Amino acid sequence: MQFVVIGAGNMGCVYGGNLARIGQSVAFLDVWAEHVERINTQGLHVEGLTGVFDVTARAATDVRELPPADVVLICVNAYSTQAAAEAARQVLKPEGCCLTLQNGVGNVEILAAALGEQRVLAGLSFQSGDMAGPGSVRHTNNGPTYMGELDRSRSPRLLELAALFEQAGMHPDLVADVLTTIWAKFVHNCGINALCALTGLRPGHIQEVSAMLEFQSRIVAETVALLSAKGITLTETDPDSAIKEYCSHKFHRVSMAQHLLRGQLTEIDSLNGYVARESARLGLTAPYSHALTCLIEGRQHHPANGGALAAEEKVSGAARERT
């Protein structure tokens, strides 16, 4: 099967690298020219929870240089989804499909509008990685990959993808209502990512600071209140406790912290920023989400974080992902 991974950052390299490890044909699309060149000349180096290995793969900054794809994995930041959708439209075979593994909400709708709902599978990942440099990634967290068809069917293509992901060590979990599962992870992301990015804490360190535990609970409460107002029912009966339990044994560096360290734009607008905006639109208050969003926006534009570059970062193709 020919995979094209749009966004050869942390997540894209973890998934693409492990799929190549089991013998699948993988190509990457990314805007980081040095990274692309290193993959083409020396291969992709992966180390961490699925072992230490090098794989041969194609990479390009121009989608026209890539082979037609049976499956496209969308691994870009949420602010680059529209560009990724256009790239996927160009590279997908007529019978091909794409699977989004992104954070945030709204990605599925953008992809479906560009490609048609029948060509889109939805997913979300509790895998994590950390770029070690051009052509090299560390696999730092090996959690489940939730996947599903938008029509809730267990289609042959979904089962085939799940079998490959299982072989690659990506722990697929097929869920009937994948969109509800995406909303559940949205709550997790809102309650963890920006807090860790702003403070420099790892998720497992939040419990050591009582003020952070309270702040996290207030963020989660605002997020859950918004989803309730929108008529979205979560599968977790106590999201705050579930998030705190999850954090207690996770010590990876979250994606948003990596974005800030590299002077990149973050996904704050599609996470806590979304909570603040939608809450205001619906007449709810979300002061903690609004404050957290403002602080992250300030951090990502600070010159010490490459903010001048981040503020001007434009994505003409598929932007690289750092999730």
Report pLDDT for 322. 35
| Residue pair 164/24 in contact by the 8 Å Cβ criterion | yes
Report pLDDT for 312. 38
Chain centroid offset of residue 199 CA: 21
Q: What is the pLDDT of residues 225-250, one digit of tens each?
A: 999 999 999 988 999 999 999 999 99
Q: pLDDT-based confidence at 313, cuts 50/70/90?
A: very low
Report pLDDT for 151. 95
Report pLDDT for 55. 98
Report pLDDT for 264. 83
| Domain residue ranges in the chain | 2-176, 181-311
CATH fold of 181-311: N-(1-d-carboxylethyl)-l-norvaline Dehydrogenase; domain 2 (1.10.1040)
Q: pLDDT-based confidence at 259, cuts 50/70/90?
A: confident
pLDDT for 306 beyond 80: no
Tell me how crowded residue 124 is: count the other CB atoms within 10 A of its CB.
27
Integer angstrom CA distances of residue 272 from 84, 154, 226: 23, 32, 11
State how far the Cα of 212 lies from the Cα of 242, in Å rounded to an integer: 16
Q: What is the DSSP letter of 169?
A: T
Question: Does 2-176 match 181-311 in CATH topology?
Answer: no
Report pLDDT for 56. 97
CA neighbor of 74 nearest in space, from 143, 122, 130, 142: 122
Q: Over the chain, what is the mean pLDDT?
A: 92
| CATH 3.40.50.720 for domain 2-176 | yes
Report pLDDT for 5. 98
Q: What is the pLDDT of residues 141-179, one digit of tens each?
A: 999 999 999 999 999 999 999 999 999 999 999 999 999
CA neighbor of 271 nearest in space, from 214, 212, 222: 222
Which phi and psi (to 5°) does residue 285 adopt?
-105, 140
Report pLDDT for 101. 97
- Give the tokens for residue 128: 């994590």
Q: What is the pLDDT of residues 281-303, one digit of tens each?
A: 999 999 999 999 999 999 987 76
Q: What is the pLDDT of residues 79-128, one digit of tens each?
A: 999 999 999 999 999 999 999 999 988 899 999 999 999 999 999 999 99
